[in-house]
Amino acid sequence: MATSNGGTDVKSSRTFKLASFYSEVQTSRLNHALPFPSVLRKPFNVDDGPKSSAAGNPDEIAKLFPNLFGQPSASLVPNETGLSGSDQKLKIGVVLSGGQAPGGHNVISGIFDYLQDRVPGSTLYGFKGGPAGIMKGKYVELTSEFVYPYRNQGGFDMICSGRDKIETPDQFKQAQETSKKLDLDGLVVIGGDDSNTNACLLAENFRGSNMKTRVIGCPKTIDGDLKSKEVPTSFGFDTACKIYAEMIGNVMTDARSTGKYYHFVRLMGRAASHITLECALQTHPNVTIIGEEVAAKKQTLKNVTDYITDIICKRAELGYNYGVILIPEGLIDFIPEVQQLIAELNEILAHDVVDEAGAWKNKLRDQSHQLFDFLPEAIQEQLMLERDPHGNVQVAKIETEKMLIQMVEIELEKRKQAGAYKGQFKGQSHFFGYEGRCGLPTNFDSTYCYALGYAAGALLHAGKTGLISSVGNLSAPVEEWTVGGTALTALMDVERRHGKFKPVIKKAMVELEGAPFLKFASMRDEWAIKNRYINPGPIQFHGPASNALNHTLLLELGAQA
């Protein structure tokens, strides 16, 4: 029904809860018809490829996954007869795991529509609150009325997410019990690298226990660090980067308008700097710090500070006392001396009492002690905060942008005293993080996610397990996209933790010889001194820019081609 503010009141009869008073844009997105890979429009079969291996240490991966290792990846190919046994009704579960990313609802919509289109009478269950919903048996049956208000919408609020893992024997047993209770034929795990590692362990456990429940993963993370040749990108990266780029563009216009502020912008991405690099390619800031480059060059915190300060001084000579500086959230983790300091602090906090007089600092090595004293007091306090459940520093709580502002101020004051700097410096700090996780997905993410979900349904229907839904040929028109599944074990390596080998899907870091970084590196010196700012504006759903892919994906696909 129409609302007084011109939006539409969309209601789910199964939840008795208003999905929201939707804006005109949200309503138009609800009914937006998505383009579709042509292979999904017609009858198809699922063909196996060659036997797979692993990303590293295949012998160890084979021991950890005796029932799955070596299985082939799969491709959907046109076939007049379609999948055999297609009249069999299926019971499928779906779970959202980890942090939010734009497009998750469309993955679920794709699974739902596959079952409606290809296996009528099937049932889709949504596990509530992430993997804990599987273990605790908390779920809801998804219907057309339930799913409809979430199509092409941001967020994970249809069933919500969680960061629990299914790891212990008891937890695997709980997952088995829930799967048996619901008589599940399959389960789709929508998540990042850790969640998809967990999905593979679950698939191995189910197969080893002779259960009929099969498990398929879907690649989700705005950080952009879950990708490979077979899985070209994780969903949500495109939308999040475009949201951040709009905000950076606005800040650039503000900087140029006032002529007196340096905006230090910290961007999401704890492990990898893909978001920072992509936003730089979209907006052309004066300074961009890429964590992987800092680590490769073994730069110190002073090196980073001096690099920023040098550019500020050069700009001041040209009459520019303003600028924009991009910093990855995980910068602290990339600086070797800071990593060493954090490791020592972790050890002290785990085993010793931290006295107010500061005697505990004598347990730090000399270099770490000097670095700790060199840091601004606010950052010292943040480094001493409570650790996360894995014993790691909570990087998101360390305000690196404020730390760098203070350190640059100190260095500029020294140079001013020495007569080497005559400009004016005022720093403004920003953290663009959660703003990008739940925005309305771009046309690309909407379409890509729907295809991933539809493919996941097809893979389960074909009896596949231990694969991650894969959609490729993404630089071509949507009709020409390829669809299939990649063996999760093929993406894995091992890490030694607590004396045992643990399987991990290695995070894809920024490659310093990769096309996106090389493009950035070829232009950054010009951006530093000359104001080449670009304001990309808000995400477009219609018109010439509405279907543009992000620079990172385009450059990587071009390099592969």
Give the CATH number, domain containing residue 416: 3.40.50.460
Q: How far is CA 225 from CA 203, 278, 462, 481, 510, in A?
A: 23, 13, 29, 22, 8
In the DSSP assignment, the letter for residue 439 is S
- Give Cβ neighbours of residue 412 (< 8 Å, ≥ 6 apart): 309, 312, 313, 421, 423, 425
* pTM for the model: 0.94
Low-confidence ranges of the chain (pLDDT < 50): 1-17
Binding site for substrate, by residue number, is: 221-223, 260-261, 268-270, 329, 434-437
The answer to whether residue 4 is domain-embedded is: no
Do 419 and 553 fall into the same domain? Answer: yes
Give the residue from 561, 478, 549 showing the smallest Cα distance to 233. Answer: 549
Same domain, 144 and 224: yes
Please give the annotated binding residues, written as ranges: 99, 193, 221-223, 260-261, 268-270, 329, 434-437
Q: Are 92 and 184 in contact (CB under 8 A)?
A: yes
Q: Are residues 425 and 493 in the same domain?
A: no
**One domain for residues 168 and 226:** yes
CB atoms near residue 289 (< 10 Å): 22
3-state secondary structure of 145: helix
Does some domain include residue 83? Answer: no
- CATH number, domain of 223, equals 3.40.50.450
Query: 280 and 426 share a domain?
Result: yes
Question: What is the CB neighbour count within 10 angstroms for residue 353?
Answer: 8
Residue 243 pLDDT: 98
| Any domain includes 403 | yes
Residue in 333, 226, 233, 225 with CA at minimum distance from that of residue 289: 333
496 in helix, strand or coil? strand
Q: Does 245 share its domain with 102? A: no
Residue 388 maps to a domain? no
* Range of the structural domain that residue 327 is part of: 240-336+393-435+512-557
Q: Are residues 220 and 264 in the same domain?
A: no
Q: How far apart are CA 156 and CA 99, in angstroms?
A: 9
How many distinct structural domains can be found in the chain? 2
pLDDT at residue number 199? 98
Catalytic entry in 113, 157, 185, 223: 223
- Report residue 170 CA to chain centroid gap: 29
**Inter-axis angle of helices 551-560 and 515-529, nearest 10:** 130
> Distance between CA 229 and CA 247 in Å, rounded?
31
Q: What is the DSSP letter of 397?
A: G
Residue 525 is assigned to a structural domain of this protein: yes
Confidence at residue 20, expressed as pLDDT on a 0 to 100 scale:
58
**Alpha helices (H) in 190-236, listed in sequence order:** 193-208
Residues 202 and 311 in one domain: no
Residue 190 included in any domain: yes
Q: Is 501 exposed, middle or buried (0-12, 13-18, 19+ CB in 10 A)?
A: middle
- What residues pair up with 430 in beta bridges, in sequence order? 265
Please, which residues have CB within 8 angstroms of residue 147's CB and are 6 or more apart in sequence? 108, 109, 112, 158
Binding residues for Mg(2+), by number, are 193
Q: Do 248 and 329 fall into the same domain?
A: yes
Domain match, 229 and 245 both: no
The residues, any chain, with a CB within 8 Å of residue 166's CB and separated by 6 or more, are 131, 134, 135, 172, 174, 175, 198, 201, 202
| Residue 8 covered by a domain | no
In order of 200, 205, 467, the CA distances from 491 in angstroms are 11, 18, 10
Instruction: Write the pLDDT tens digit of every residue in 288-346.
Output: 999 999 999 999 999 999 999 999 999 999 999 999 999 999 998 899 999 899 889 88
- DSSP for 122-133, please give it: -EEEEETTTHHH
Q: What span, in angstroms and rounded, lies between the C-alpha atoms of 380 and 35?
A: 51
Instruction: Say whether both 447 and 522 belong to one domain.
Output: no
In a domain, 210, yes or no: yes
Predicted pLDDT of residue 390: 60
For the question of residue 493 being annotated catalytic, the response is no
Same domain, 308 and 448: no
Cα separation values, 90 from 76, 97, 183, 215, Å = 19, 22, 9, 13
CA atoms of 236 and 241, how far apart (whole Å): 8
